[in-house]
Amino acid sequence: MKVLVVGANGQIGKHLVTSIQNREGFEAKAMIRKQEQASFFEDLGAETAVVNLEDDVEAIAKAAEGVDAVVFTAGSGPNTGPDKTILIDLDGAVKTMKATEKAGVKRFVMISSFDTSRKAIQDAPESFAPYVAAKHYADEWLKSTKLDYTIIHPGILSNDKGTGQIEAASEVERGEVPREDVASVIVASLENESTIGKEFQVVSGTHSIQETISSI
Amino acid sequence: MKVLVVGANGQIGKHLVTSIQNREGFEAKAMIRKQEQASFFEDLGAETAVVNLEDDVEAIAKAAEGVDAVVFTAGSGPNTGPDKTILIDLDGAVKTMKATEKAGVKRFVMISSFDTSRKAIQDAPESFAPYVAAKHYADEWLKSTKLDYTIIHPGILSNDKGTGQIEAASEVERGEVPREDVASVIVASLENESTIGKEFQVVSGTHSIQETISSI
């Protein structure tokens, strides 16, 4: 299974490309914004494609040609300006969905934020609300497509080493989760077709990633 | 016909409430953000409702109860920060659509911007792109609802006195249009059910508003 990782140069993205390259039967294509980001991925033996998410759908579709799945883990992050929030977290995500469809790819995994419900937009601190809104509308758009989607809502991301132990369900109590474990959850989701059409929150816990994701 | 004007205190909104109050068989309910904005509308004999578009759907739905149509002409404008762009122009618009549905109202008129196509997002100057994207997604959302919608895409808005003469079609050449004429186009759209499910661009021209809108 060849997987286009959109946002490969992000912190989850790097773990994900590493995970994929180490997994039998999987290979990653890292979509990155700048050529100088390529060496990290080339060292892992992964293909790269240099595309800016502010480019048009056709540019992204070209990167998606010939892959079996697309993972969207790009993000302007909650700390960039809200202009990038709408152009990357919402419009970049929707363009990636359109590009996926255009390339004839069905499988799409979205890395969302922990809670993207309407209530979460209302309850968010003012500086965070635009980011939650952008993720909300990206998730809503994805659910309206015919893509074989999975939406993953991770808790508070940490750079701790992955433990391989999580809790995942439609709703779990907010908590931390290492980015390395999120990457493993993405791979497990790609391996388990039972996650298609589903969305779930994930935090650190006491159950193995494989078992938890295969019973989602 | 009782019409809730969302964004009544804006420049188009004030013309619109005036137009509606002067039209036989029509009455306006002005949705405004602050109580101190009410006197302008009370002087016109219009009802008012004080609701902030950053409030929840229920608050907006309460304002929409008992009306026959909702017009969304609120806007953070292209010159406010992009945080308000996503929270007002996109999320405020979608909440108004949900509120309209919740209140059991079918008719919805959206004042969009001149070109909200995907291409327009790509082609927009960087500072303007977030606004175009927000309007794009609001329009897309509206088209996916079961509301009896009309989407009006006015050209460059001016404060010139209305001439009553326009050009309107799916695509027209970009040009100016007085806000006063946009208000008259909204009223004409409400009067003509043939505009339901349609969207059109409008600029100043040489055809009467009534004739043009009734043949859209």
What is the three-class DSSP state of B177?
A: strand
Q: What is the DSSP letter of B196?
A: T
Nearest CB partner across the interface for A83, out of B56, B82, B144: B82
Residue B136, domain member (yes or no): yes
pLDDT of residue B189: 98
pLDDT of residue B77: 62
Angle at B156 between CA A137 and CA B20, to 5 degrees: 80
Residue A13, domain member (yes or no): yes
Nearest CB partner across the interface for B133, out of A86, A126, A129: A86
Residues 41 to 70 of A: which have CB under 8 A from any B CB? 56-57
What is the three-class DSSP state of B15?
A: helix
Residue A135, domain member (yes or no): yes
What confidence category does residue A77 fall into, taking pLDDT thresholds of 50, 70 and 90?
A: low
pLDDT of residue A127: 86
Q: What are the pLDDT digits (tens) for B144-189? A: 999 999 999 999 999 999 999 999 999 999 999 999 999 999 999 9
Which ipTM was obtained for this model? 0.91
Using a pLDDT cut of 70, give the percent of chain B over it. 97
* Active site residues per annotation of A: 131
What confidence category does residue A78 fall into, taking pLDDT thresholds of 50, 70 and 90?
A: low
- B121·A91 Cβ contact <8 A: yes
- Which of A63-67, B74-78, B129-133 reaches the highest mean pLDDT? A63-67
CA distance A67 to A69: 6
Q: Which chain A residue has the Cα nearest residue B141?
A: A141
Specify the CATH number for the domain of residue B38.
3.40.50.720
Number of domains within chain A: 1
Nearest CB partner across the interface for A87, out of B90, B91, B133: B133
Chain Cα centroid distance, residue B89: 11
Residue B24, domain member (yes or no): yes
On the question of pLDDT at B76 being above 80, the answer is no
Residue B85, domain member (yes or no): yes
Angle at A107 between CA B122 and CA A89, to 5 degrees: 35
What is the three-class DSSP state of B150?
A: strand
Contact B114, B200 (CB under 8 A): no
Contact B112, B152 (CB under 8 A): yes
Kindly give the pairing relationship between strand A27-32 and strand A148-154: unpaired
Of B196, B210, B6, B186, nearest in space to B95 by CA: B6
Chain B CB contacts of A90 under 8 Å are: 86, 133, 137
Nearest-neighbour CA in chain A from B213: distance (Å): 32
Q: What is the DSSP letter of A80?
A: S
CA distance B133 to B85: 9
Contact A13, A7 (CB under 8 A): yes
The token pair at A106 is 């069905």
Q: What are the pLDDT digits (tens) for B81-119? A: 667 899 999 999 999 999 999 999 999 999 999 999 999
- A130·B57 Cβ contact <8 A: no
Containing structural domain, residue A67: 2-154
Q: Which chain A residue has the Cα nearest residue B92?
A: A133
Residues 78 to 137 of A: which have CB under 8 A from any B CB? 81-83, 85-87, 90-91, 94, 118, 121-122, 126-127, 129-130, 133-134, 136-137
Of A199, A84, A204, A97, nearest in space to A150 by CA: A199
- A130·B56 Cβ contact <8 A: no
Q: What are the pLDDT digits (tens) for A118-155? A: 999 999 998 899 999 999 999 999 999 999 999 999 99
What is the three-class DSSP state of B151?
A: strand
CA distance B197 to B207: 22
pLDDT of residue A76: 74
Q: For residue A168, what are the β-bridge partners?
A: A202
- 3-state SS, one letter per residue, for A173-186: CCCEEEHHHHHHHH
pLDDT of residue B127: 86
Q: How many CB atoms lie within 10 A of CB B78?
A: 17
* Active site residues per annotation of B: 131
For tokens 């980001």, the residue is A37
Nearest CB partner across the interface for A56, out of B83, B122, B137: B122
Q: Which chain A residue has the Cα nearest residue B57?
A: A118
pLDDT of residue A192: 97
Q: Which chain B residue has the Cα nearest residue A90?
A: B133
What confidence category does residue B80 fall into, taking pLDDT thresholds of 50, 70 and 90?
A: low
For tokens 């050209």, the residue is B155
Alpha helix (H) ranges present in chain A? 11-22, 38-43, 57-64, 82-84, 91-102, 118-123, 129-144, 179-191, 209-214
- B83·A137 Cβ contact <8 A: no
pLDDT of residue B83: 75
Residue B215, domain member (yes or no): no
Contact B216, B168 (CB under 8 A): yes
CA distance A52 to A73: 14
The token pair at A48 is 């790269």
Q: In what order do the strands lie in the sheet with A207-208?
A: A47-50, A27-32, A2-6, A69-72, A107-111, A148-154, A198-204, A165-169, A207-208
At A56, give phi and psi (nearest 5°): -85, 175
pLDDT of residue A75: 87
Residue A191, domain member (yes or no): no
Residue A197, domain member (yes or no): no
Chain B CB contacts of A127 under 8 Å are: 83
Tell me the pTM. 0.94
Using a pLDDT cut of 70, give the percent of chain A over it. 97
CA distance A165 to A186: 14
